[in-house]
Structure 1
Amino acid sequence: MDMTTSLPCRRWLAGAGFALVVGVSPTVFADTTFDYEAPAITPESSSGFTEKPGWSTERFAVAAANPLATDAGYQVLKAGGSAVDAAIAVQMVLTLVEPQSSGIGGGAFLMHYDGSEVKAYDGREVAPRAASESLFLNGGGEPLEFMEAVASGLSVGVPGTVRMLELAHEKHGKLPWAELFEPAITLAEEGFPVSRRLHTSLVEEERLREDPLAGTFYYDEQGEPLGEGHELKNPALGAILRDIAEHGSKALHTGSIAEDLVFRVQDHPERPGAISMEDMATYVAKERPPICTDWQDYRVCGFPPPSSGHLTIMQILGIIEHLPELDEPLDGDRPSTEWLHRFLEASRLAFADRNKFIGDPDFVDAPGGDWNSLVDSDYLGERAELIGEESMGPDAAEPGDPGELETAWAVQPPQPEYGTSHMSIIDEQGNAVAMTTTIEQAFGSRIMANGGTGLPGGYLLNNELTDFSFRPLDDDGTPIANRVEPGKRPRSSMSPTLVFDRQSGELIASLGSPGGAAIIHYTAKALVAMLDWGLDAQEALDLPHAITLGGPAFLEEGRFPAAVIESLNALGHEASERELTSGLQAIQRTEDGFFGGADPRREGVVMGD
């Protein structure tokens, strides 16, 4: 894997499945120092598994889930922008070209390193003030069907992505805020080709057609989805982004854009939600202390609660570390059966703790008063003793006792989690970003808002409140930590991760993935592959997946021999195949600069000089 993006990457991404050709006139803001040039692209296939070469760069790199978004970040870095500047440009383009996964109607977690300090910026959505713990219960006190709750106004949380990015930009930005919106505005007004992944998502989607705005924007008069390569313009989003570019996050959280969002939520024909103008105006993005955990020769820094990602990842890795070392953790180009057994068992134990202890820290106390109690080496050693030669079996893992609790919590029942996108960026000054961003399910709540512009298009609203437990109490009346409460942030699995050398403190890698609760497994395995097994970023991302949320085990469809599944079942894992579409992005430091990998299961790429 010696291909580089040093010179040819802007014009031709060899082996990545598409070309970039600069040729569209840029939209230029007054007094701009950043002139965006919109590339014409032929999108690659995003179905199945598309081999990618990995990309070497010398000075900086950006990895994102869509080539147009990656290119926007690249151009910002090329113009002297910071990693946070590039992240803003990437996110705004993703709102346009990957609307099913993230956008200004959702939330995000951003990890940032400025060369000396790691910070965590929380843009997670918030439950409205009028929300109650019975939000997702029907008249009989039973939970709603999951998709009934998702495709409704009930599921929409107060969005936080723009407010969070504004906070990060105030502290780490170099280019003016308004200039960072130029790529997305240009593409929204002049058009972009619909990618195969967006087309496929529209084909598979059932409920988006029912929304009066989205149904006429993404489907034709016969109800057929826009075709791959269709040149799509989004004038409503362009106008909204121009307003945010000029006036900042208050343009989204107050005034006509907020009024339109509130109307769309409260006017839902079946299940209206309760977001108010006060909820929108008073949303606060937060800077939180990251959690940095020593593992082997590394210090792994991740997001604290309300994310469960870092704590659960480091529980899995820490439990495995207490087990006897395997001579051969890899079997050719896949993890060995022995390693999979350990990984799945450690995951069962970690998810048992996750489902009991973790929630919004403004509402939920950490065991023993410190979230690090969950990753304490002695505690994880005790948990590792529960792993034997055979599986403990689906749903058999029980939460541990990492520390005293001020409040007794019940275990949250299993519940689906979806969605999301990830970007990793390292700029020329060595500043790094790992940012995971989401609207939760594909196309979120299936509600589109157009900012009251009256123009075609707009942006999609999240269904993030379905990340709360639908049941507030267990059968004994004990409260569930992740239940719905007014002003609370739902528990997340997003796992933006920065890795450092324990001795020198040097930045080693930035990585993360979409994938709902499976984000945890995808990111954990990538860390092991890169840091323990010595694979490069692309080789690590290419490895097949295996997950369990505590119940049955699932192996990535078509990536393991039948004998592996049979062996795991003989051990009691109840394993079967399933499509596991991660969207990992990773950048690692090398002797000559950086090496980036993009998930072969999606359409992302890495660019840099």
Structure 2
Amino acid sequence: MIISLRAKNNSARVIGVSALALWLSGCGTEPSAPHKTPELPPAPEISSGFRSDMAPVHATRHMAAAANPLATAAGQQMLRRGGSAIDAAIAMQAVLALVEPQASGIGGGAFILYWDGKQVQAFDGRETAPAGANTRMFQGADGQPIPFTEAQIGGRSVGVPGVLRALEMAHKQHGKLPWRDLFQPAIQLANQGFPVSKRLHTQIAADKFIPGSPEMASYFLTPQGQALPVGTLLKNPELARTLDAIATRGADAFYQGAVAQAMVDKVGAHARPGTLSLADVSGYRARERQAVCGDYKEWRVCGMPPPSSGGVAVLQTLGILEALQRQSPALDLARMPPVPSSTGTGVEPSSSAVHLIAEAERLAYADRALYLADSDFVPVNVKGLTDKAYYATRAALVGEKSMGRAEAGIPAGINLALAPDRSALRISTSQIAAVDDQGGAISMTTSVEAAFGSHVMTHGFILNNQLTDFSFVPEENGKPVANRIEPGKRPRSSMAPTLVFDRKSGELVATVGSPGGSQIIEYVNKSVVGLVDWKLNPQDAISLPNFGSRNVGTELEAGMVSPSLVQQLKDRGHEISLIEMTSGTQIIARDENGWVAGADPRREGTALGD
């Protein structure tokens, strides 16, 4: 049956590649029938405004970029002292736990992609499911999945945090400064206080679950129950003590003793309790994995392997786009630069570019839903999914009209009978990037999953709700879902920290990454194409309107694209969703003088360098 479906898809492509190329260059089309906009889940990390005054930042020696100016400053401080990129990242993560608690922190997890000047390493700090987790834990008595917020809020959704163990592992290999020194900026800020930013205020005000958490309410709300006003000096002495213990005794201070016991107690005592145990916490291990790398034109792109789907999906998207170009030079994205926009945002992607990228992403997201999961539990044929011959077969499905919803392919070497993961596509997280004086670089994506995670708070930090990244449905028609819940398993992620290299010289070209949950893949694809195909500087690549497809319609950033672009895509058969696409991309790229960086104007991030 699968073979016949593939044959049908190929035969349905009634035009050849040359006709597609001609059509994309502007030949006539007939408008398609109107489509109903598909329903998508709301973005937990809401927009706090678009900063129109952003400009690229230049440096000759080193650079740091993070989602909050205070975090970026901490990273720059470590780099100025001769620290490595991992030293800077640890300092930035510690500060983000304080100033951006809705997105990341020590109660969550992270994926780290590291370049030491010679090799790329992937450090996996993804959370794990407790030993007491089971496949039906997010289903009701009727066997149906429970609502997401019911699953998110409380102890049931909490996985064993992994970020500190991953940072510790990377620091032991690449740290230049003492571990203790890296936490001092965050400890000082937590004790002395920091002003509540507009973004943090906006996130607090929008979160209806904070009043239900006594610890969070007392910390984030006024005595009258309102969100703390912008500029309020917010102190967190509990977090300062926690970070001081970690700085003094290492990550063991988190995974053993009073902090670990408090996490277990809070999770177990919640009205929606989880099964987290001391053995789960103390037994957590970060893993060093092999980065997934592939060629895109004259560049080498490296990303995170499973349990993240980000690295594979980005490589698949780029590989399919290159396969299209090989079939017809007219389909080269380099020939489709951004065009002037009538929205006042400057430029927007052309409809031809959006069409090709969205179609390639549909195919990648279809494979993601079926095949990608924790490779320690499910065999994942990364080689087959990222093979050039496979890209060519997938590219053959791209036509002049949108394919709508793509089906997963059948790459060579995969023989598992699996059911697709039909989970809702959710959104949150934070991004860190740095390059150091020694030639090292890092791209690190870090998360507590949804905004403010599980809303379980202890010792000054918030615990994640990453277990909701598993499929709530473990099987379909007798076939298992690869991303089903299992004890000790890591939930599939879309985090896509990415490093780009020049294929000939081997020189690092850029470090790229973004938050955004399942939309991360879209944001990273846009950024890489903007940098290498359209030759945009990092800031312009980030500021370009977001777009793409998660195989549920075609998404365009509301308020950032012209009606003309929307109509042109509708004419090509795209079901359009105009939605908030609150990326938080950070890019550091090489230029003729050293480094140039950009930060996302949709959040409050900055880049600083010397």
Aligned partner of 1:128 in structure 2 is 130
Deviation at 1:321, TM superposition (A): 1.5
In structure 2, C-alpha distance between the alignment counterparts of 1:221 and 1:572, rounded to whole Å: 53
In structure 2, C-alpha distance between the alignment counterparts of 1:154 and 1:591, rounded to whole Å: 51
Which secondary structure state, in structure 1, belongs to the residue aligned with residue 522 of structure 2? helix
> Are 1:105 and 1:460, in contact at CA under 8 Å, matched by a contact in 2?
yes
| Offset from partner CA, 1:469-501 (integer Å, 9 cap, x none) | 000001x12100000000000000001111111
1:361 aligns with 2:363: no
1:425 aligns with 2:434: yes
Aligned partner of 1:392 in structure 2 is 403
In structure 1, C-alpha distance between the alignment counterparts of 2:415 and 2:362, rounded to whole Å: 25
1:331 aligns with 2:331: no
In structure 2, C-alpha distance between the alignment counterparts of 1:479 and 1:567, rounded to whole Å: 40
1:350 aligns with 2:364: yes
Aligned partner of 2:53 in structure 1 is 51
Aligned partner of 2:421 in structure 1 is 412
- Judge which range, 562-571 or 92-101, deviates more: 562-571
> Are 1:92 and 1:103, in contact at CA under 8 Å, matched by a contact in 2?
yes
In structure 2, C-alpha distance between the alignment counterparts of 1:342 and 1:533, rounded to whole Å: 15
User: Quick one: structure 1 residues 262 and 50, their matched pair in 2 at CA, closer, same or farther if it must change by over 3 Å?
Assistant: farther
Q: Which of 118, 133, 142 is the matching residue for 1:140?
A: 142
1:165-564 matched pairs, under 5 angstroms: 165-269=167-271, 271-323=272-324, 324=328, 325-326=331-332, 327-332=335-340, 333-367=347-381, 371-393=382-404, 396-450=405-459, 458-474=460-476, 476-564=477-565
Which secondary structure state, in structure 2, belongs to the residue aligned with residue 445 of structure 1? coil
Aligned partner of 2:19 in structure 1 is none
> Are 2:384 and 2:413, in contact at CA under 8 Å, matched by a contact in 1?
no
> Are 2:58 and 2:596, in contact at CA under 8 Å, matched by a contact in 1?
yes
| Offset from partner CA, 1:244-278 (integer Å, 9 cap, x none) | 11111111111110010011111111x10000000
What count of residue pairs does the alignment treat as equivalent?
A: 551
Counterpart amino acid of 2:211? R
Aligned partner of 1:24 in structure 2 is none
In structure 2, C-alpha distance between the alignment counterparts of 1:570 and 1:478, rounded to whole Å: 38
> Are 2:336 and 2:350, in contact at CA under 8 Å, matched by a contact in 1?
yes
Deviation at 1:182, TM superposition (A): 0.2
RMSD (CA atoms): 1.1
Deviation at 1:330, TM superposition (A): 2.2
Deviation at 1:576, TM superposition (A): 2.6
In structure 1, C-alpha distance between the alignment counterparts of 2:48 and 2:592, rounded to whole Å: 32
In structure 2, C-alpha distance between the alignment counterparts of 1:407 and 1:471, rounded to whole Å: 18
> Are 1:537 and 1:586, in contact at CA under 8 Å, matched by a contact in 2?
yes
Deviation at 1:46, TM superposition (A): 4.2
In structure 1, C-alpha distance between the alignment counterparts of 2:412 and 2:88, rounded to whole Å: 41
> Are 2:501 and 2:508, in contact at CA under 8 Å, matched by a contact in 1?
yes
Deviation at 1:372, TM superposition (A): 2.3
> Are 2:57 and 2:598, in contact at CA under 8 Å, matched by a contact in 1?
yes
| Offset from partner CA, 1:19-44 (integer Å, 9 cap, x none) | xxxxxxxxxxxxxxxxxxxxxxxxxx
> Are 1:57 and 1:595, in contact at CA under 8 Å, matched by a contact in 2?
yes
> Are 2:423 and 2:472, in contact at CA under 8 Å, matched by a contact in 1?
no
Deviation at 1:605, TM superposition (A): 0.7
In structure 1, C-alpha distance between the alignment counterparts of 2:50 and 2:443, rounded to whole Å: 26
Counterpart amino acid of 1:374? L
Counterpart amino acid of 1:376? D
Deviation at 1:51, TM superposition (A): 2.8
Deviation at 1:287, TM superposition (A): 0.5
In structure 1, C-alpha distance between the alignment counterparts of 2:406 and 2:548, rounded to whole Å: 15
> Are 1:59 and 1:593, in contact at CA under 8 Å, matched by a contact in 2?
yes
Aligned partner of 1:22 in structure 2 is none
Which secondary structure state, in structure 2, belongs to the residue aligned with residue 154 of structure 1? helix
Which secondary structure state, in structure 2, belongs to the residue aligned with residue 433 of structure 1? strand
> Are 1:365 and 1:406, in contact at CA under 8 Å, matched by a contact in 2?
no
Deviation at 1:406, TM superposition (A): 4.7
In structure 2, C-alpha distance between the alignment counterparts of 1:459 and 1:566, rounded to whole Å: 46
Counterpart amino acid of 1:156? V
In structure 2, C-alpha distance between the alignment counterparts of 1:495 and 1:533, rounded to whole Å: 21
Which secondary structure state, in structure 2, belongs to the residue aligned with residue 293 of structure 1? strand
Deviation at 1:416, TM superposition (A): 2.7
In structure 2, C-alpha distance between the alignment counterparts of 1:382 and 1:514, rounded to whole Å: 30
Aligned partner of 2:10 in structure 1 is none
> Are 1:50 and 1:601, in contact at CA under 8 Å, matched by a contact in 2?
no
Deviation at 1:50, TM superposition (A): 3.2
Counterpart amino acid of 2:368? R
Query: Which consecutive residues of structure 1, in runs of 5 or more, have no partner in the other structure?
Result: 1-44, 451-457
In structure 2, C-alpha distance between the alignment counterparts of 1:80 and 1:563, rounded to whole Å: 50
In structure 2, C-alpha distance between the alignment counterparts of 1:264 and 1:208, rounded to whole Å: 16
1:110-125 matched pairs, under 5 angstroms: 110-125=112-127
> Are 1:565 and 1:576, in contact at CA under 8 Å, matched by a contact in 2?
no
Which secondary structure state, in structure 1, belongs to the residue aligned with residue 64 of structure 2? strand
> Are 2:384 and 2:414, in contact at CA under 8 Å, matched by a contact in 1?
no
Query: Given the two structures, how large is their TM-score scaled by the length of structure 2?
Result: 0.89
1:18-57 matched pairs, under 5 angstroms: 46-57=48-59
> Are 1:329 and 1:338, in contact at CA under 8 Å, matched by a contact in 2?
no
> Are 1:100 and 1:444, in contact at CA under 8 Å, matched by a contact in 2?
yes
> Are 1:194 and 1:226, in contact at CA under 8 Å, matched by a contact in 2?
yes
| Offset from partner CA, 1:132-187 (integer Å, 9 cap, x none) | 11111111111010111011211110000011111111110011101101000000
In structure 2, C-alpha distance between the alignment counterparts of 1:508 and 1:48, rounded to whole Å: 27
Counterpart amino acid of 2:58? S
Aligned partner of 1:13 in structure 2 is none
In structure 1, C-alpha distance between the alignment counterparts of 2:198 and 2:563, rounded to whole Å: 30
> Are 2:190 and 2:240, in contact at CA under 8 Å, matched by a contact in 1?
yes
> Are 1:208 and 1:447, in contact at CA under 8 Å, matched by a contact in 2?
no
> Are 1:110 and 1:121, in contact at CA under 8 Å, matched by a contact in 2?
yes
Q: Which of 106, 109, 115 is the matching residue for 1:107?
A: 109
Deviation at 1:407, TM superposition (A): 2.9
| Offset from partner CA, 1:558-580 (integer Å, 9 cap, x none) | 11111211221222211031111
In structure 2, C-alpha distance between the alignment counterparts of 1:338 and 1:504, rounded to whole Å: 32
Deviation at 1:553, TM superposition (A): 1.6
In structure 1, C-alpha distance between the alignment counterparts of 2:384 and 2:52, rounded to whole Å: 41
1:600 aligns with 2:604: no
Counterpart amino acid of 2:393? E
Aligned partner of 1:565 in structure 2 is 566
Counterpart amino acid of 1:328? M
1:575 aligns with 2:580: no
In structure 2, C-alpha distance between the alignment counterparts of 1:46 and 1:140, rounded to whole Å: 39
Query: Identity of paired residues, percent?
Result: 49
Aligned partner of 1:455 in structure 2 is none
| Offset from partner CA, 1:177-199 (integer Å, 9 cap, x none) | 01101000000000000111000
> Are 2:588 and 2:596, in contact at CA under 8 Å, matched by a contact in 1?
yes
In structure 2, C-alpha distance between the alignment counterparts of 1:437 and 1:82, rounded to whole Å: 19
